[in-house]
Every structure is written in C-alpha cells, then in structure tokens.
C-alpha cells in the first residue's frame, strides 16, 4: 500500500476536503495486521504531514500580512472545511491503531499520548476549536495594526523600539508613553476578544467532562509527568531564589544609570516586552549589531558554523530555500516563532527585527527550534509523524540552549557582531535577561492558573477583564520587584493583554521556565567541555518523542526540575558569569 500523493506539498493548498477524505477513508478501511502495519503508518504520516503543512503555510502567509482579508478568508476556510474534519478523521485512525493492539517499534510514548488524546476527544469540540482559532485572530489584527508617529515618521510599535533604545531618558519616557497610550487604546477590543476566548474554552472543557479549562488543558497538552501543584512549587521556588537575584539586577542597573529609582523605560522601551532589557545602562551608545537584515543573516550563519558545522549547514539551507522572514513591517504579526512544514521536512522562522541586540538573541532562539526540527526529521529511527511531536517543555531547551551555546562566538573576531567590550555588555544583558525572565514567567503562569478557577458565580474568574487587571497587578507586585510603576497603574494592570500566549496558546508558558533551567544546565556543561555539550545537545534534539520528558533532559546532560536547589544552582552560575563579564568593561 502506497499513496499516490502529490510530490510538491504546495499542490494540496488548492484541495477541498473530499480529496483529502478519499485518502483518510482508504486508511480507515485497511484491516490492520503486523505485516501491514509499517506501510499503513508510513501512509498515515504522509497524509497527516500534508494536511499539517497546508495549514501551517496558510497561517504563515496570513501572519506575514495579517491585514490581508483575502489571506484571512483563505486560512479560516481551511480551518472550517479541512482542519476540522481532518481532526475527526485523525481520531478514527488513532482509535483504529489503539484497538488493534499493535505497537510500532519505539512507540511507547506516542501510544501513551494517543490514549490520553482519545479519552479527551469529543466531536462537538471540533467546531469550537475552529471558533477559538478564528477568535484569536482578532487579537492579531488589533496588535498588528498598531503604529505611531515619532519625529514626523510613522513607525510600528516594534520599529519604535529601535528608535528609542539608544535615546536619552526624557526621549525614552516620551516614546514609551506614546507607544503605551496607543496600546492601551485597544484595551476594550482586546477585553471583548478575551471574554469570547474564555467562554469558548469553558465550553470545550465542559464538553469533555472537565469542571474547568485548566484540567482539560493539562490533558490536552499531555502534561503527564508533572502537575499543577508542581507549577506552584516552581513559582514559589522562583519567589524564594530568583526574585532576590532579579532585584539585584535592577539595583545594579539603577546604580549604573545614576538613578535612585528605575522606571519602566529605564529597563525596556518595548511596551510589549516590558521585562526585556533593551536600554543600555553603561553610558555608551546602544548596541547596533547589524545594519540590515542581510548582514544579520550573514553573521549569524558564521556563528552557527562556529558552534557546529551542521548548524551552519541547516541555516544555509533555510537561507537558500527562503525558510524565514526576519524584517518588521506594518501588517506583519508581531513577535517571533518557528513552525514546520512536515511534508517538506523543513522548518520556517518568523520574527520582527528592529535593529537591536535583542534581535540576535531572538534569532538564535528561533533557529534553535528550527535546528530541533531538522534533527528530528533527519533521524531515521523516527519514521512516523507521531514520533516528531516532542514535548513543548523540551522544545524550549533547544531554543534557549542555542542562545547560550552561541554566546562565545558573537564577537567580531569570531565573525560575529560585537567588539570584545560590546560582547561583554551583550552577555551581561543576556544573562540578566535570563534572571528577569523566571519571575515574569511566574506572573504569566500564575495568571493563567488563576484565570480558570471558578468564581462565586461558578464562571471562570478570568472572564471579568477587571478581575484580570487586579490579578495581574498582584502577581506583578509579587514577582517583579525593583521597577517603579507609580502613576502607571493602568499600564501595569493591562500587562496580560500584551502577552499573546494567553490568547493564542493558553497555558503555554511554564514550559519556558522549565526549559530555561535545562538550557542553563547545558551551558554549565559547555563551560567544562564545549564539544561534549554540543554533541549531547544535538543528540537530545534528535530523539523526538521516542523517550520521556525526563529522558530528553537527561540526554542533554541535565535534569527536569522545578525545585529551589536546582534554581539556586542555575541562578548562582548566571550571577557568577555576569561578574566575569563585568570585569571586561
């Protein structure tokens, strides 16, 4: 049995559901046996990969031009007419394999996951998933349309960051307030979108027999190796260990700037990423590591070749095949991400370069995801698409680990971006950013846990935007200490609206916290033996879902952890490395 599927995945972009259905029907009609299993699984992988790639390509096209109504109509039509029935057809095949009692080699983890997904599946939720995706697109349209006038020119909110990061303090404040006022003007629209999303999520959970959305999402995300209580343990450990270290970061910054009190624009002029450091505090011009995207591409390829030639080759392939879009422009969805085209066995990276040092870190991060995809697709032991679906908690080890493994090669003497002095500044800012991230992650994670608790009326607490404002403010004050937001209470309270994950990817954020801990463990190993650490890192990236979450962390030489001692070890290392870099200034 072998399907005569198109050799070029782009051909199926014009297909309607009946054409896909023919293949699904053929697969579901096969009488499974041990001798037929391998070919059947291969055909299932080929078909599922085409459907996934078609959806991902349409989504990328829309994200590059979120203001294009034609692209939006095409993508939403795909969600309704193809993705939705494909989910039902996929469920039939999952149940067929489970009921057969057959087990492909190395399939323990995928079968475990399939059983969890089968127990969660409800046909009545399929249109709700489509409604959820369409509703979340409203958030993208609002955020993607933002622009402001600065010094006689129009800039997107993201582009304005490049204009402000090296400016004097009064200009930073003026620009920050301008951007924040523009962002806050969208609050009513985003409130409405949020309420709709919370309602849809509640209905999805109820249809599946769960009392709240958190319980449903936990199973949906296949969080089978840790619990909500473990996340609370992690947040408490962050409060105990990392919050004091983050305060020290802010205190050093205030001293360097000669200030008694830090204000938000003394840390970040990016109102959408308020704990991201992009304001220089060394009394020197802001870091401008590249003059245009072409230079960014060329230099980053050299960095990857220094880390490992295989990574340089992966990036060269992406460059040749047009598998990334790095520029920022009006209408483009903000932020950055990596997706994949599984039928083509390729990744795709989207980001919004603004000219600062943070772009280098972001590109390293997203390319870490891309390299993860290459490693999985290249592993001959991972024959089937279910084995490519590595857990999200480990996906971020790939990205954050890449940031740290590349850090020794960012100087111009290595073909990178910085002088030795600039490299020390960039390294300090990067490691300080790691320390600031864990507390911010705790805010986002804590907010999402709170949002789906039942209130006195039985509805999710997060359905009330005003209650969301209060909850976010309380969590912010608990975890983010050292920056004065007095007089900016509304801007602080509406911070939850400036994070796309609660809108698009509910409950996806704690993964970054776990993974950052794993990435620092990879970095620690690289300080002792860089070649061995890179080899272990690449090996871990090649395993897909053939081993457990803990097994993936162990493969890279680390451990999956969320306790105070593990955090203290990582925090101490970062503070030690910051001290080393400060001596170079």
The answer to whether 431 touches 452, Cβ cutoff 8 Å, is no
Average pLDDT over residues 437-464: 93
Residue 465 has which token pair? 């935007």
Identify the H or E element spanning 64.
helix 34-64
- CB burial of residue 310 (10 Å; 0-12, 13-18, 19+): middle
Question: Among candidates 549, 544, 547, which has minimal Cα distance to 385?
Answer: 544
Specify the DSSP class assigned to residue 386: G
Burial 474-486 (b: 16+ CB within 10 A, else e): ebbeebbebbebe
Residues 6+ apart with CB under 8 A from 454: 211, 212, 460, 461
Segment 527-564, tens digit of pLDDT? 999 999 999 999 999 999 999 999 999 999 999 999 99
Specify the DSSP class assigned to residue 454: B
Residues 6+ apart with CB under 8 A from 128: 200, 203, 204, 207
Q: What is the largest CA-CA distance in the chain?
A: 75
What is d(CA 182, CA 177) in angstroms, rounded to the nearest whole number? 8
What is d(CA 405, CA 557) in angstroms, rounded to the nearest whole number? 14
Query: At 164, is the pLDDT very low, low, confident or very high (cuts 50, 70, 90)?
Result: very high
Please name the residue ranges forming H helices in 121-212.
Answer: 126-144, 157-164, 169-184, 187-207
Edge-first strand order for the sheet with 324-327 is: 324-327, 346-353, 337-341
Query: At 438, is the pLDDT very low, low, confident or very high (cuts 50, 70, 90)?
Result: very high
Segment 405-430, tens digit of pLDDT? 999 999 999 999 999 999 999 999 99
Query: At 2, is the pLDDT very low, low, confident or very high (cuts 50, 70, 90)?
Result: low
Residue 472 has which token pair? 């976010």
Query: At 474, is the pLDDT very low, low, confident or very high (cuts 50, 70, 90)?
Result: very high
What is d(CA 265, CA 175) in angstroms, rounded to the nearest whole number? 9
Task: Please tell me the pTM assigned to this model.
Answer: 0.89
Specify the DSSP class assigned to residue 308: -
What is d(CA 347, CA 323) in angstroms, rounded to the nearest whole number? 7
- The sign of the CA dihedral 444, 445, 446, 451 is positive
């Amino acid at each position: 049995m072998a399907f005569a599927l198109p050799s070029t995945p782009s051909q199926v972009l014009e297909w309607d559901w009946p054409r896909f259905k023919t293949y699904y029907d053929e697969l579901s009609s096969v009488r499974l046996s041990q001798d037929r299993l391998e070919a059947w699984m291969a055909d299932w992988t080929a078909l599922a990969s085409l459907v996934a790639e078609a959806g991902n390509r349409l989504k990328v096209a829309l994200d590059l031009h979120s203001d294009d109504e034609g692209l939006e109509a095409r993508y939403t039509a795909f969600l309704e007419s193809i993705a939705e029935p494909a989910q039902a057809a996929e469920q039939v095949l999952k149940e067929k394999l489970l009921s057969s009692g057959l087990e492909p080699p190395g399939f323990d983890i995928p079968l475990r996951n399939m059983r969890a997904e089968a127990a969660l599946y409800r046909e009545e939720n399929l249109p709700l998933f489509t409604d959820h995706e369409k509703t979340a697109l409203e958030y993208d349209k609002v955020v993607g349309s933002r622009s402001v006038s600065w010094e006689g020119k129009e800039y997107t909110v993201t582009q304005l960051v490049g204009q402000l990061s090296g400016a004097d303090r009064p200009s930073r404040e003026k620009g920050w307030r301008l951007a924040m006022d523009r962002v806050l003007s969208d609050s009513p629209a985003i409130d409405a979108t949020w309420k709709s999303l919370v309602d849809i999520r509640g209905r999805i959970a109820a249809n599946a027999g769960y009392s709240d959305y958190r319980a449903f999402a936990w199973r949906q995300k296949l969080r089978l190796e840790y619990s909500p209580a473990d996340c609370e343990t992690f947040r408490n450990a962050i409060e105990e260990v990392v919050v004091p270290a983050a305060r020290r970061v802010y205190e050093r910054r205030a001293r360097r700037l000669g200030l008694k009190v830090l204000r938000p624009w003394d840390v970040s002029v990016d109102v959408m990423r308020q704990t991201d450091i992009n304001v220089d505090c060394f009394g020197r011009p802001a870091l401008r590591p590249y003059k245009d995207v072409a230079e960014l591409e060329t230099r980053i390829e050299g960095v990857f070749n220094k880390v490992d030639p295989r990574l340089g080759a992966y990036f060269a392939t992406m460059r040749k095949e047009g598998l990334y879009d790095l520029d920022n422009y009006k209408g483009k969805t903000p932020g950055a991400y990596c997706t994949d085209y599984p039928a083509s066995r390729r990744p795709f990276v989207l980001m919004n370069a603004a000219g600062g040092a943070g772009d280098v870190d972001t590109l390293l991060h997203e390319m870490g995801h891309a390299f993860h995809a290459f490693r999985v697709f290249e592993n001959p032991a991972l024959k089937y698409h279910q084995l490519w679906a590595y857990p999200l908690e480990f996906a971020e080890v790939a990205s954050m680990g890449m940031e740290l493994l590349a850090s020794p090669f960012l100087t111009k003497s290595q073909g990178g971006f910085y002088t030795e002095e600039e490299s020390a500044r960039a390294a300090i800012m990067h490691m300080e950013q790691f320390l600031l991230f864990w507390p911010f992650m705790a805010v986002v994670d804590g907010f999402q846990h709170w949002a789906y608790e039942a209130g006195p009326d039985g509805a999710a607490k997060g359905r009330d935007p005003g209650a969301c404002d209060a909850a976010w403010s309380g969590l912010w004050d608990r975890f983010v200490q050292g920056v004065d937001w007095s007089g900016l209470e509304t801007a602080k309270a509406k911070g939850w609206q400036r994070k796309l994950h609660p809108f698009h990817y509910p409950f996806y954020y704690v993964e970054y916290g776990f993974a950052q801990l794993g990435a620092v463990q990879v970095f620690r190993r690289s300080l002792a033996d860089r070649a061995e650490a890179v080899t272990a890192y690449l090996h871990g990236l090649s395993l897909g879902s053939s081993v457990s979450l803990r097994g993936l962390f162990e493969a890279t030489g680390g451990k999956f952890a969320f306790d105070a001692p593990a955090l203290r070890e990582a925090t101490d290392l970062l503070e030690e490395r910051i001290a080393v870099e400060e001596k170079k200034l």
